[in-house]
């Protein structure tokens, strides 16, 4: 039988991985990421929760990632030489999911919903919450997609809405105490979990929300937040993988939340309010992380790093501290106006700049409440390209409410005035909890026509050689929108898609639009109502979640 691709995804044993012996009385927690190892190991939230849980003496926390298709085939074939012949196993203790007390998933992207079901199945866990019994683990989930939990409500026992650093320990303590009780502990645990702030237990509500507003309002679930970021736990000995991952460096969160209020943005609502980590604490984290990993690059992370009020001072002190060790400093999520030409900023690694103009015209951008103008974008981009920066990457959307083809022309005109650009164009999705949550989404034919229009416009201008354009698949975006904006009925579509072999749908080479379309038809569900605009005051599936 052929070997699997990138076996380093499955072997574990990495530097700084935590191995605990399994003994009676401990709570066993499987921390799961429904995507490939390279993606999950790059996610800061996974690193934080892994460290928090393993600090507890009576908790064992182990990692589990989705397998690529070749490994899944070996697991299902029961080949003892592939994955110990025991199904999908944790990296640390080589245990199946069904052996854990809690199985927790990080829901970062709606297209990975089918992989949650696949991992549960491969791990020997019953898929539907209603079918699980006392011997089954509790299945919980959190992350941005949990802010509309209804599409996955049939499969998840409890959702953590908001930031989980504190809530996860409360959940672990409760489940550990309930499992020690007599038969029926699961139902008691679910009832008690529903009393924890920020925890939503779908089976304890009698009125699941529906798309058309026929459900009754429920008790509001208020998101959890970590008030003091400076004193919050942060991992200073992160796991160092054997293989290259997406973000193969030290990542330090310098700020949580965003001071801006872009109307299309979901993240600014779900990560509100703005909280800062002090320079002193960041330097301490950097010092310990370099010592514990040997990495030679530090990335400063936040939704908008340029808004950190002490950024230049921070960069200068990091450079001064690590200059002799050759450690580079990189930034993510910069806004044009906040990127200065100071001496300190000249220290930052000059690999590339990433800006998100979103649209091409200043007029449309102002309607998005996006504080950025074309003059600044052009001037700053060309300046830094002429001064050692290798590339500029720009993110745009098409299908924004009120958009015209003249606005698409404006994208072409803007980008054509910049020396060299890698640009990404994605269809607009009216995400839950954004100010545009009640807007509709462009039809598939319209989105495809706009894509053709932009491609032709760049060809006419003769700029395709110096501009690399990546268009996000409109068909994938439409399915993502249905899963993002769906009610509990969408769970049947997700289940059928998994049954028919949908796996790793976030990956372009794996996505199958025809399969999803067939699943909607067989479920008797029309996707179009999920994509239409909503009337004022209309009950939405996620209305009970308070951001």
Architecture of domain 248-340: 2-Layer Sandwich (3.30)
274-300: average pLDDT: 96
- Decide if 435 contacts 270 (C-beta within 8 A): no
Q: Which two tokens stand for residue 194?
A: 């529903």
pLDDT of 83: 43
Measure the CA–CA gap between 202 and 159, rounded to whole angstroms.
Answer: 8
Task: Check whether 395 has a pLDDT greater than 90.
Answer: yes
Counts of helices then strands in the chain (DSSP H, E): 18, 17
Q: In 10 A of CB 19, how many CB atoms?
A: 12
pLDDT of residue 316: 92
Q: Residue 216: pLDDT above 60?
A: no
61-75, 348-362, 500-514: segment of lowest average pLDDT: 348-362
Element (H, E) at 331: strand 328-331
Q: Rounded to an integer, what is the distance from CA 446 to the centroid of its chain?
A: 28
Residue 206 pLDDT more than 80?
no
Decide if pLDDT at 84 tops 50: no
How far are the Cα atoms of 82, 203, 237 from residue 92, in angstroms, in the given order?
16, 32, 16
Q: What percentage of the chain carries pLDDT values higher than 90?
A: 79
The residue ranking higher by pLDDT, 193 or 333, is 193
pLDDT at 280 exceeding the cut of 70: yes
**Taking residues 109-128, what's their average pLDDT?**
98
Q: What is the mean pLDDT of residues 184-188?
A: 91
Mean pLDDT of all residues in 123-132: 97
CB 59 within 8 A of CB 173: no
**Residue spans per domain, the chain:** 7-222, 248-340, 350-472
Going from the C-alpha of 253 to that of each of 286, 365, 375, the distances in angstroms are 11, 28, 30
For the cut 60, the answer to whether the pLDDT of residue 541 exceeds it is yes
Mean pLDDT score across all residues of the chain: 91
Q: How far is CA 172 from CA 28, 103, 163, 169, 425, in A?
A: 9, 11, 15, 5, 42
- Token pair, residue 493, equals 């579509």
Residue 390 has pLDDT above 80, yes or no: no
pLDDT level of residue 336 (50, 70, 90 thresholds): low
> Given this model, what pLDDT does residue 1 score?
45
Q: What mean pLDDT do residues 478-502 have? A: 98
**Residue 405, both tokens:** 């083809």
Regarding the domain delimited by 350-472, which CATH topology (the fold level of the hierarchy) does it fall under? Transcription Regulator spoIIAA (3.30.750)
Residue 207 predicted with pLDDT over 90: no
| Location of structure tokens 């502990």 | 185
**pLDDT band, very low/low/confident/very high, at 80 (cuts 50, 70, 90):** very low
pTM above 0.85, yes or no: yes
pLDDT for 438 beyond 70: yes
Question: Rounded mean pLDDT of 483-487?
Answer: 97
pLDDT at 82 over 50: no
* Same fold across 248-340 and 350-472: yes
Give the CATH superfamily of 7-222.
Cobalamin-binding domain (3.40.50.280)
Q: How far is it, in rounded angstroms, from Cα 254 to Cα 301?
A: 6
Tens digit of each residue's pLDDT (9 = 90 or more) over 218-227: 689 999 999 9
Q: What is the pLDDT at residue 95?
A: 97
């Amino acid at each position: 039988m052929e070997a699997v691709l990138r076996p380093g995804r499955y072997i574990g044993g990495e530097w700084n991985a935590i191995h605990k012996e399994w003994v009676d009385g401990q709570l066993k927690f499987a921390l799961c990421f429904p995507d490939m190892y390279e993606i999950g190991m790059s996610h800061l939230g996974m690193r934080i929760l892994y460290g928090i849980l393993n600090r507890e003496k009576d908790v064992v926390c182990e990692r589990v990632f989705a397998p690529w298709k070749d490994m899944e085939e070996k697991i299902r074939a029961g080949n003892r030489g592939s994955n110990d012949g025991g199904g999908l196993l944790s990296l640390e203790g080589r245990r199946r999911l069904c052996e854990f007390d809690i199985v927790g998933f990080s829901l970062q992207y709606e297209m990975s919903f089918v992989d949650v079901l696949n991992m549960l199945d491969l791990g020997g866990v019953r898929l539907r919450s209603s079918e699980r019994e006392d011997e089954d683990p509790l299945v919980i989930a959190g992350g941005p997609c949990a802010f509309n939990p209804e599409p996955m409500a049939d499969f998840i026992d409890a959702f953590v809405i908001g930031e989980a650093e504190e809530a996860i320990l409360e959940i672990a303590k409760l489940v550990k105490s309930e499992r020690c009780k007599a038969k029926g502990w699961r139902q008691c645990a679910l009832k008690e979990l529903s009393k924890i702030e920020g925890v939503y237990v779908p089976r304890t509500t009698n009125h699941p929300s529906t798309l058309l507003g026929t459900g009754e309002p429920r008790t509001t679930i208020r998101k959890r937040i970590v008030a003091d970021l400076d004193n919050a736990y942060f991992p200073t000995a992160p796991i160092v993988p054997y293989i290259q991952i997406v973000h193969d460096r030290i990542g330090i969160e310098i700020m949580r939340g965003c001071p801006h209020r872009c109307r299309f943005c979901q993240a600014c609502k779900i990560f509100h309010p703005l909280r800062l980590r002090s320079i002193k604490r960041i330097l301490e984290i950097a010092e310990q992380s370099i010592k514990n990993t040997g990495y030679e690059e530090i990335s400063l992370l936040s939704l908008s790093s340029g808004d950190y009020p002490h950024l230049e001072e921070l960069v200068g002190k990091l450079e001064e501290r690590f200059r002799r060790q050759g450690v580079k400093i990189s930034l993510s999520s910069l806004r044009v106006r906040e990127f200065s030409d100071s001496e300190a900023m000249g220290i930052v690694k000059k690999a590339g700049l990433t800006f998100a103009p979103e649209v091409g015209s200043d007029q449309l951008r102002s309607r998005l409440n996006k504080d950025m103008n074309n003059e600044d974008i052009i001037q700053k981009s060309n300046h830094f390209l002429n001064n050692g920066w290798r590339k500029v990457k720009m993110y745009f959307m098409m299908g924004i409410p009120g958009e015209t083809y003249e606005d698409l022309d404006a994208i072409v005109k803007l980008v054509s005035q910049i020396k060299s650009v890698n640009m990404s164009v994605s269809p607009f999705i009216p995400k839950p909890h954004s100010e545009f949550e009640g807007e509709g989404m462009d039809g598939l034919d319209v989105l495809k026509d706009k894509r053709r229009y932009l491609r032709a416009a760049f060809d006419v201008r003769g700029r395709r050689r110096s501009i690399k354009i990546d268009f996000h698949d409109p068909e994938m975006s439409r399915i993502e929108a249905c899963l993002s904006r769906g009610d509990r009925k969408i769970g049947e579509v997700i289940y059928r898609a998994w049954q028919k072999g949908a796996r790793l749908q976030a990956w372009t080479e794996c996505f199958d639009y025809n399969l999803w379309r067939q699943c909607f038809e067989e479920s008797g569900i029309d996707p179009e109502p999920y994509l239409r605009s909503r009337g004022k005051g209309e009950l939405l599936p996620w209305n009970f979640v308070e951001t």
